[in-house]
Structure 1
Amino acid sequence: MTQRHIAARLLWAGRHLIWRRADWNRVLFTDDSRFTVMLMEDYGFADCCIVEKNRFGGESVMVWGAIMGNRKTDLVFVQGNIDAQRYVADVLNAYALPFIRQHGPGETLMHDNARPHVARVTTQFLQQNNVNVMPWPAVSPDLNPIEHIWDQLGRKARAYHQIDNARDLTRALQQKLRNLPNALVLRYVTSMRRRIIACIHANGGPTRY
């Protein structure tokens, strides 16, 4: 995290400090995450990993998901690398846009600054479909409440399932998301004001989230 990132985070937090709970409940928080069958020590926190089998390799699955208020989308399992065209077709058009339309109007899409998210084909698609997009500061996973959903899925999949391969992992993640209480999803969403205050107190630096 550079000084430029820190300044951008602090500015973003200041602009959203006045947002109320009802405002955050209209944001579709999205993210993707890779879950692996191995213990992946360099991923940031070990709880998102499933079973230690081989430190030098292991099967994995990439998933996309979203939460809004006390609701959650299905998991989208992404095969291989995803470029802007696939992101638009397989994620935004197939899942995010129908979800926003179902629960709109006035909903806002949040996604980070990954290259497929900010590509011209993506921004044009969102503009053509009148989707509000929340500006998001770079290097800020601690501000995105869906990161805790990934943590929950990883913990529960590892605790209650025998995971030997990617197929086992896929089934476990799907089941655990279906069983994840909506009240828990809402609790993470309503933590946004606390996250913003923590960011401001840290002068834009990293927070405990």
Structure 2
Amino acid sequence: MLAHRHWTIHEWAKVIWTDKSAFELGKQADQVRVWHTANEKWLLENLAVNHRSGRQSVMIWGGFCAAHRSSIVFLDGRMNSQEMVQQVYHPALCPFVKQMEQAPWIRGRHRLLLMEDNMPIHTAAFSSQWCKQNSILQMEWPAHSPNLNPIEKIWKSMKSQISKLYQPQNLEELKHAIWSCCRDIHPGILNDYLRSMPRRIQMVINQCGGPTSY
């Protein structure tokens, strides 16, 4: 991270931030604390509705660059690197890269950087070779550092909206809620998350690589 310590917002705007996240049916995104006496523990006003019937969830992939978001991909369970290329890189990532290469601050001036975590499906020879063949430059990124990726804020916000506004009862309703929340993300929000990067980097440096408030 020291190499990026003095990056400006314009330099961070060259990064395509990507990540996967699981959205669980019926799970409360925001933990609610209720103060009560011992005898009031099971009163209805002190309980939160839980719509779960077993553990059901949807895994999605998404990304953003500056104030632009990619399409989202609903993933089919656990994947290997070949399936990652087939389900995500080829149909979603590649078109988004081509779109962003035409952005005024990128076109003919800079190369985009792809930020991913260090999961084996991203670092495997098959996926790395595919990125090279498609002129996608993978960014070096420290392991175990989710608080550095601004897209985590997007997932958290979406999960909060889904539990408050949609309260889906089944997986199809959950998928629709995810799609709706993603569609409604304002470009200004993405810019705000991007502008937090210098602070994030500095906080990690101050913590000597330890956890931060992000």
TM-score, normalising length from structure 1? 0.86
Q: Which 4+ runs in 1 deviate beyond 2 A?
A: 51-54
Using the aligned pairs only, state the percent identity.
34
SS at match of 2:90: helix
Question: How much has 1:132 moved relative to structure 2?
Answer: 1.0
Could you report, residue by residue, the CA deviation over 1:113-166 in whole angstroms, capped at 9, with x for unpaired residues? 111001110010011111111101100000000000001110111111131111
Please state how far the C-alpha of 1:94 moved relative to its aligned partner. Answer: 1.0
Confirm or deny: 8 A CA contact 1:38 1:57 kept in the other structure. Answer: no
Decide whether aligned partners of structure 1 residues 183 and 34 sit closer, same or farther in structure 2, where only a CA change above 3 A counts: same
**What are the ranges of 5 or more consecutive residues in structure 1 without an aligned counterpart?**
1-12, 41-45
Structure 2 counterparts to residues 1-209 of structure 1, below 5 A: 13-39=1-27, 46-47=29-30, 52-54=50-52, 57-104=54-101, 105=107, 106-209=111-214
Aligned mates of 2:124, 2:50 — CA distance in 1: 36
- Gaps of at least 5 residues in structure 2 are 32-48, 102-106
Structure-2 separation of matches of 1:163 and 1:21 = 37
Quick check: 1:36–1:60 contact (8 Å CA) kept in 2? yes
How far off is 1:57 after superposition?
2.5
C-alpha deviation, 1:171, in angstroms: 0.3
TM-score (norm 2): 0.84
**Partner SS state of residue 138, structure 1:** coil
Partner Cα distance (1:39, 1:90) in 2: 26
Larger helix share, 1 or 2? 1
Note if contact 2:65-2:100 (Cα within 8 Å) is conserved in structure 1.
Answer: no
1:142-198 Cα shifts (integer Å, max 9, x gaps) = 000000000111011111113111111100010011111110011111111110000
What's the CA shift for 1:96?
0.9
CA RMSD of aligned residues (A): 1.6
| SS of alignment partner, residue 169 of structure 2 | coil
